[in-house]
C-alpha cells in the first residue's frame, strides 16, 4: 500500500513537471511561464523539493544567487534604465550591489528557546510555502533579488508578479537567479513568473489556494489589494519622507546629505527625501550650501508655475512621464539650459504645494520655511500623511531628535545623514527594498517570511 502511494505521488509529480516544461516560454527564460496557474504549480513543486534540503544547502543557493547577480549588475542596471526610462545607471549599479551584499540570508533565521523544569521548548522559523511577491517599476531587479534571497533563505518558493512596465528587467533577473540556483544543484522553478505580467494575472495569484503569503512592494493600490485578499499579507507602501533641518544642525553637512539622498537614482527610492522643512534662521544658508552641491534653485514665479504645469497633472497628481528623470532634462523642458552636473532642482514653496504633499519621485525638492522646530515637526508629521515610512532630521539637539522620532512614528528615522543611510548605505544595519510600514514588519528580511512554530519537549534537556 505504501509503495503504491509513493508511485502515484511520483507519477503526479512527473505529469506536473511535463506540463511545466511544455508551458515554460523558452529554454533560456528559466521560471517564466505563459500561464499564472502553471507558474504557481511549478513554484509549489519546487518548494516541496527545497524543504528536503538542509540549511547549509539553502545557504549555498543564496550565495550562488548573489554571485550571479553581481556578475550581471551592469546588464540589469542598464536594462532597468532603458526599459523604464527612469533613474540613473550608476545609481542602479549601487542599488543592485547593495542588495547583493547586504540582504540577510539563512543566518537571519534565529530560533528562540525556553528551558526550565518542564523541559525544552523551541520556537522555530519555518517557511510559509509559496509566496506571491508583487514588485515595483522603481527598483525592479533590486526588489526581486532582495525578496528572492530572503524568501528562499527562509525555505519558500516565490511567484513574482512584476510591474508590466519593468517586465523585461524583472524576468531577466528571475532567469539569472534561477540559473544560479540550478547550477548550484537546487530545484528548477523555485522562482517563477509569467511572460505577460498584468493586473488580472496578479489577481489570479492573489486568489490561488497554493499561494500561502502575499508580499506587495508598491503604491497604496497594491497594498490595499493584498490586504483585502484574505491571505497573510505584507504591505510595503508609498512614502513621502520629510527632511527637517533645525537651527542646531551642521548646515553644510545637512545640505550635502539632503542633495545626495534626494537625487540618488533621481529620487525613485521610496525612502528618498521628498521635501525639506527648515527653520527660518538657517534656511538661506542651507539653500546656499545646497547650490554648492549641484542643486539648481528656481526663484522666478513664472518658472515655478511652468515647472508645476509640467510635472503635475490636472488632477493634482504627478505626471508619470517625469518620474525618475534627470534634473537637467526637466529643467530644459521649462526653458532652462544647464549641464548634467545638476543633480536636483530646489525651490521655496508654501506648505500645501503639490510638490510637498504629493510623492513626486523626481529630483525636485521643495523647501518650506517655518519659524521654529516645533512648527517643523508638526508640519513633517502632516506631510508624511501617516504612511509611517521614512523621515530624516538634521539636528544636534537630542531632545528635538527624540521628539520628532516619537511624533512621526516612521519605520525608518535617519538622524544627520542622507536617507539611504536608513537602508544600510553609510549607516549600520542590513538592507531591504521591501519596507513594510502599513503592516508593521518594518525592514523585511528572511525571518519576516517565516511562520513561528513551537516545538515542545516535555521534561528533558534542561541542564540549568
194 lies in the site for ligand NAD, by CB under 6 A: no
Region for residue 381 given its phi and psi (left: phi exceeds 0; alpha: psi -120 to 50; beta: otherwise): alpha
Residue 276 or 360: the one with the smaller Cβ distance to ligand NAD is 360
Residue 69 or 331: the one with the smaller Cβ distance to ligand NAD is 69
The CB-based long-range contact list for 407-411 (8 Å cut-off, 24+ gap) reads 407/377, 407/381, 408/242, 408/377, 408/380, 408/381, 408/384, 410/241, 410/384, 410/437, 411/435, 411/436, 411/437, 411/442, 411/443
442 lies in the site for ligand NAD, by CB under 6 A: no
Find the helix or strand (DSSP H, E) in which 19 lies. Answer: helix 2-23
In the structure grid, which three cell numbers stand for residue 150, read together? 530572503
**Chain residues 213-232 in contact with ligand NAD, contact rule CB under 6 A:** 217-219, 221-222, 225
Sequence-ordered list of residues with C-beta below 8 angstroms from that of 461, at least 6 positions apart, any chain = 115, 119, 120
Residue 222 or 368: the one with the smaller Cβ distance to ligand NAD is 222
Alpha helices in 166-323 (DSSP H): 167-183, 199-207, 220-227, 251-263, 280-292, 301-311
Residue 33 or 296: the one with the smaller Cβ distance to ligand NAD is 33
Q: What whole-number distance in Å separates Cα of residue 411 and Cα of residue 421?
A: 13
Candidates 47, 72, 96, 135; binder of ligand NAD (CB under 6 A) is 135
SS3 assignment, position 432: coil
Residue 119 or 427: the one with the smaller Cβ distance to ligand NAD is 427
Half-sphere exposure of 379 (CA within 13 A, CB side): 26
Residue 400 or 439: the one with the smaller Cβ distance to ligand NAD is 439
- Letters for 341-370 (x = contact with ligand NAD by CB under 6 A, - = none) are ------------------x-----------
Residue 142 or 175: the one with the smaller Cβ distance to ligand NAD is 142
410 lies in the site for ligand NAD, by CB under 6 A: no
Candidates 434, 445, 448, 450; binder of ligand NAD (CB under 6 A) is 434
CB of residue 139 vs ligand NAD: minimum separation in angstroms?
Answer: 5
243 lies in the site for ligand NAD, by CB under 6 A: no
CB of residue 166 vs ligand NAD: minimum separation in angstroms?
Answer: 7
CB of residue 238 vs ligand NAD: minimum separation in angstroms?
Answer: 3
Residue 147 or 400: the one with the smaller Cβ distance to ligand NAD is 147
Residue 317 or 396: the one with the smaller Cβ distance to ligand NAD is 317
- Letters for 155-184 (x = contact with ligand NAD by CB under 6 A, - = none) are ------xxxx--------------------
Stretch that binds ligand NAD, among 20-28, 34-42, 211-219, 341-349 (CB under 6 A): 211-219
| 3-state SS string for 78-103 | HHHHHHHCCCCHHHHHHHHHHHHHHC
In the structure grid, which three cell numbers stand for residue 392, read together? 530624516
146 lies in the site for ligand NAD, by CB under 6 A: no
In the structure grid, which three cell numbers stand for residue 347, read together? 525651490
417 lies in the site for ligand NAD, by CB under 6 A: no
448 lies in the site for ligand NAD, by CB under 6 A: no
- Letters for 251-290 (x = contact with ligand NAD by CB under 6 A, - = none) are -------------------x--------------------
Q: How remote is the C-alpha of 142 from its chain's centroid?
A: 7
# of chain residues touching ligand NAD (CB under 6 A): 27
Q: What whole-number distance in Å separates Cα of residue 280 and Cα of residue 289?
A: 15
**Chain residues 88-107 in contact with ligand NAD, contact rule CB under 6 A:** none
Residue 80 CA: distances (Å) to CA of 94, 166, 195: 13, 7, 17
> Do 108 and 137 touch, CB atoms closer than 8 A?
no
Residue 146 or 376: the one with the smaller Cβ distance to ligand NAD is 146
Q: What is the dihedral of CA 328, 257, 424, 70, to 10 degrees?
A: 30
Sequence-ordered list of residues with C-beta below 8 angstroms from that of 280, at least 6 positions apart, any chain = 369, 370, 371
CB of residue 4 vs ligand NAD: minimum separation in angstroms?
Answer: 43
Find the helix or strand (DSSP H, E) in which 401 lies. Answer: helix 398-408
C-alpha radius of gyration, the chain, whole number: 24
Tell me whether residue 389 is exposed, middle or buried, using C-beta atoms within 10 angstroms of its C-beta: 0 to 12, 13 to 18, 19 or more. Answer: buried
Residue 153 or 238: the one with the smaller Cβ distance to ligand NAD is 238
69 lies in the site for ligand NAD, by CB under 6 A: no
Positions touching ligand NAD (CB under 6 A) are 134-139, 161-164, 199, 202, 217-219, 221-222, 225, 236-239, 270, 359, 433-435
Amino acid at each position: 500500500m505504501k509503495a503504491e502511494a509513493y508511485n502515484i505521488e511520483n507519477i503526479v509529480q512527473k505529469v506536473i513537471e511535463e506540463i511545466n516544461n511544455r508551458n515554460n516560454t523558452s529554454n533560456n527564460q528559466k521560471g517564466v511561464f505563459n500561464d499564472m496557474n502553471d507558474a504557481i504549480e511549478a513554484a509549489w513543486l519546487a518548494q516541496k523539493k527545497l524543504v528536503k534540503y538542509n540549511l547549509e544547502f539553502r545557504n549555498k543557493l543564496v550565495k550562488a544567487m548573489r554571485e550571479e547577480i553581481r556578475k550581471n549588475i551592469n546588464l540589469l542596471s542598464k536594462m532597468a534604465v532603458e526599459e523604464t526610462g527612469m533613474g540613473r545607471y550608476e545609481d542602479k549599479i549601487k542599488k543592485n550591489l547593495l542588495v547583493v551584499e547586504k540582504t540577510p540570508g539563512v543566518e537571519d533565521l534565529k530560533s528562540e528557546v525556553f528551558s526550565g523544569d518542564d523541559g525544552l521548548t523551541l520556537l522555530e522559523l519555518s517557511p510559509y510555502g509559496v509566496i506571491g511577491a508583487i514588485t515595483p517599476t522603481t527598483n525592479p531587479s533590486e526588489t526581486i533579488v532582495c525578496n528572492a534571497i530572503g524568501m528562499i533563505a527562509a525555505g519558500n518558493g516565490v511567484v513574482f508578479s512584476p510591474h508590466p512596465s519593468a517586465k523585461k528587467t524583472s524576468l531577466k533577473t528571475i532567469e539569472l537567479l534561477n540559473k544560479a540556483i540550478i547550477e548550484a544543484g537546487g530545484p528548477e522553478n523555485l522562482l517563477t513568473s509569467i511572460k505577460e505580467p498584468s493586473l488580472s494575472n496578479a489577481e489570479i495569484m492573489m486568489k490561488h489556494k497554493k499561494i500561502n503569503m502575499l508580499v506587495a512592494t508598491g503604491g497604496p493600490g497594491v497594498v490595499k489589494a493584498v490586504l483585502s485578499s484574505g491571505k497573510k499579507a505584507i504591505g510595503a507602501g508609498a512614502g513621502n519622507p520629510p527632511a527637517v533641518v533645525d537651527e542646531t544642525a551642521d548646515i553644510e553637512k545637512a545640505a550635502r546629505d539632503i542633495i545626495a539622498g534626494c537625487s540618488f537614482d533621481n529620487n525613485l527610492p521610496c525612502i528618498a527625501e521628498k521635501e525639506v522643512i527648515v527653520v527660518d534662521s538657517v534656511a538661506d544658508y542651507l539653500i546656499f550650501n545646497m547650490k554648492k552641491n549641484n542643486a539648481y534653485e528656481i526663484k522666478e514665479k513664472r518658472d515655478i508655475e511652468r515647472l508645476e504645469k509640467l510635472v503635475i497633472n490636472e488632477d493634482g497628481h504627478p505626471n508619470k512621464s517625469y518620474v525618475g528623470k534627470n534634473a537637467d532634462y526637466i529643467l530644459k523642458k521649462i526653458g532652462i539650459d544647464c549641464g548634467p552636473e545638476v543633480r536636483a532642482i530646489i525651490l521655496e514653496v508654501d506648505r500645501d504645494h503639490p510638490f510637498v504633499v504629493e510623492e513626486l519621485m523626481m529630483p525636485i525638492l521643495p523647501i518650506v520655511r517655518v519659524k521654529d522646530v516645533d512648527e517643523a515637526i508638526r508640519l513633517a508629521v502632516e506631510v508624511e500623511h501617516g504612511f509611517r515610512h521614512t523621515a530624516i532630521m538634521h539636528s544636534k539637539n537630542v531632545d528635538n531628535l527624540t521628539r520628532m522620532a516619537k511624533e512621526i512614528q516612521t519605520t525608518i528615522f535617519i538622524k544627520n545623514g542622507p536617507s539611504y543611510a536608513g537602508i544600510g548605505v553609510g549607516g549600520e544595519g542590513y538592507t531591504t527594498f521591501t519596507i513594510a510600514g502599513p503592516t508593521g514588519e518594518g525592514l523585511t528580511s528572511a525571518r519576516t517570511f517565516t511562520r513561528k512554530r513551537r516545538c515542545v519537549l516535555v521534561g528533558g534537556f534542561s541542564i540549568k
